Amino acid sequence: MHEPRSKPRILAVDDKLQNLYALEKLLTQLDVEIIQATSGFEALSLTLEHDFCLAIVDVQMPEMDGYELVELLRGNPSTANLPVIFVSAIFSDEYHHCKGYDAGAVDFLSKPFIPEILLSKTRIFLDLYHQRSKLEKLVNQLNAKNEILENEIKQRQEAETALQSANRDKDRLFSIISHDLRNPFQVLLGNAELMLEGLEHLSNADIAAMTQSVYRSARTAFNLLENLLTWSRLQQERIEYDPGPVDLHELAENTVALLQETAISKRIRLNHTIEEELFAYADSYMIDTIIRNLTSNALKFTPAEGQVTLSAHRNGVSPDQPDAKWVEVKVCDTGLGISPENIAKLFKLDVHHTTPGTAQEAGTGLGLILCQEMVKKNGGQIWIESEEKKGTTVIFTVPATDSPSPEKG
């Protein structure tokens, strides 16, 4: 590895010390550092340690002559462009001059040479060295500035992409608030107004029907507001991710109990097959929210006499997966089903795709977006398998644990 540059270095190679002494005495007139070598092997070793601007090499040396040395220098990428001036007291004919140029030298001087000529030639190579150093420094500066500029462009592009995404999300939320949130309130207010104005003339059956409609509208608006608030808290990272053992059997029991009245009113069989002692390692609040949202959604799109079933199993129950660390949770219904092109739209906040439920329940699609974000927060994946008019299964994965007690990290 080359040392940091100070003065430009010149490599002087000659097997006779008196020649090296004379050469160094001459070149001290220049602002350079002279490094001496008494053999070709020593010269090769020095090129590994130092960065030279010029090499002045004697042609006739024992073991390795100047021609062989320069050929080896040209074969090494780090010294291939090192300028070399040959000097010789014996070989001064045209043949040896041509041989020197063929070997890779830039000049050939015969001894005794005129000192001023060698100094003049050396100055030329020093000037070239300084110019090359300035150019390298400039290139490095330009590369550094270019890298900074590229990083700034990349950061700006990422910021623009994030802004565009935020704007799409904002527009989608405004659409939900202005359209989907208004609809249940319009129904609610309309029925309430009819009841107030015509209460004396309405039959018990009319009042019951209107009351049921008011309840459904209020429940729809409440669920939507709850999802909006939860989604907003997720975006602001105000929901703390607090993983621990989650009893999936218990969550399924609670969900079925909570939504059983809705299922009965629609004459849908709601049950679960999740075995006891099946634990996930996740955030309990988020997994509860996911299962409740998916089950509520399944009930919405399942007709009378249909069925919604919650199930879960470890991927490692089969002999070929004894070390699986994931639980696969499924919410399966016998409802309307979803076309492949519409499945692709369900997890996109910027695409407004909703379908009324079998009892004309309103929806926004925000619940699935919410589930997707919570599943990702817990390190899992979520996807949908569906066939039109036959039903839909929503599947998500969550890390598994064998322990019902909090794991110590």
Is the predicted pLDDT of residue 322 greater than 70, yes or no?
A: no
Band of pLDDT at residue 4, cut at 50, 70 and 90? very low
What would the two tokens of residue 158 be?
A: 């990422």
Amino acid at 156: R
Q: Which CATH class is domain 243-409?
A: alpha beta
Kindly calculate the radius of gyration of the chain based on its CA atoms and give it in whole angstroms.
Answer: 42
Q: How confident is the model at residue 249 (pLDDT cuts 50, 70, 90)?
A: very high
Contact 359, 262 (CB under 8 A): no
Q: What is the pLDDT of residue 319?
A: 47
Question: 200 pLDDT band (50/70/90 cuts)?
Answer: confident
- Is there a contact between 92 and 110 (Cβ–Cβ < 8 Å)? yes
Please give the residue that has the higher pLDDT: either 340 or 167: 340
pLDDT value at residue 214 = 81
Between 234 and 18, residue with greater pLDDT: 18
Q: Which of 110-124, 223-237, 275-289, 319-333 has the lowest mean pLDDT?
A: 223-237
Q: 307-314 and 269-272 as β-strands: parallel, antiparallel, unpaired?
A: parallel
What is the per-residue pLDDT across 103-114, written as a single tens digit (0 to 9) for each?
A: 778 888 887 888
Give the Cα separation of 234 and 228 in Å (integer).
10
**324 contacts 337 by C-beta, under 8 angstroms:** no
Question: What's the pLDDT score for residue 405?
Answer: 65
Q: What percent of the chain has pLDDT over 90?
A: 34
What's the confidence (pLDDT) of residue 317? 47
Q: Is 67 exposed, middle or buried (0-12, 13-18, 19+ CB in 10 A)?
A: buried
Residue 349 is classified by DSSP as T
Angle between helices 284-300 and 204-235 (to 10 degrees): 140
User: Which pLDDT score is estimated for 173?
Assistant: 63
Q: Do domains 9-135 and 243-409 have the same CATH topology?
A: no
Highest CATH level, class, for 9-135: alpha beta
Between 313 and 203, name the one with better pLDDT: 313
Instruction: Using alpha carbons, list the distances in angstroms from residue 71 to 40, 68, 177.
Output: 11, 5, 80
Say yes or no to pLDDT of 125 above 50.
Answer: yes
DSSP state of 274: P
Count CB-CB contacts under 10 A for residue 242.
10
pLDDT greater than 50 at residue 292: yes
pLDDT band at 42 (very low <50, low <70, confident <90, very high): very high
Q: How far, in whole angstroms, is CA 187 from its chain's centroid?
A: 46
Alpha-carbon distance of 129 to 149, in angstroms, equals 30
The domains of the chain are located at 9-135, 181-239, 243-409
Residue 208, pLDDT > 50, answer: yes
DSSP class per residue in 310-321: EEEEEGGGSTT-
Question: What mean pLDDT comes out for the span 159-175?
Answer: 73
State yes or no: pLDDT of 220 exceeds 80: no
- pLDDT band for 406, please (50, 70, 90 cuts): low
pLDDT band at 10 (very low <50, low <70, confident <90, very high): very high
The confidence band for 279, taking pLDDT boundaries of 50, 70 and 90, is very high
Is the pLDDT score of 285 beyond 90? Answer: no
Q: What is the pLDDT of residue 382?
A: 93
Asked if the bond preceding 112 is cis, omega within 30° of 0, the reply is yes
Q: Is the pLDDT of residue 363 over 60?
A: no
Q: Please state, rounded to an integer, the average pLDDT across all residues of the chain.
A: 82
What pLDDT is recorded for position 343? Answer: 84
> What pLDDT, on the 0 to 100 scale, is given for residue 347?
73
CA atoms within 13 A on the CB side of 339: 5
CA distance 328 to 217: 33
Determine contact, residues 186/365, Cβ cutoff 8 Å: no
Under a CB-based contact definition with an 8 Å cutoff, are residues 10 and 24 in contact? no
- Spatial contact of 326 and 152, defined as CB atoms under 8 Å apart: no
> For 29-34, what is the mean pLDDT?
90
Report pLDDT for 360.
Answer: 46
On the CB side of 180, how many CA atoms lie within 13 Å of its CA? 26
Indicate if the pLDDT at residue 169 is higher than 70: no
Q: What's the Cα-to-Cα distance from 195 to each of 190, 214, 217, 244, 403, rounded to whole Å? A: 9, 10, 15, 49, 55
In the predicted structure, residue 236 carries a pLDDT above the cut 70: no
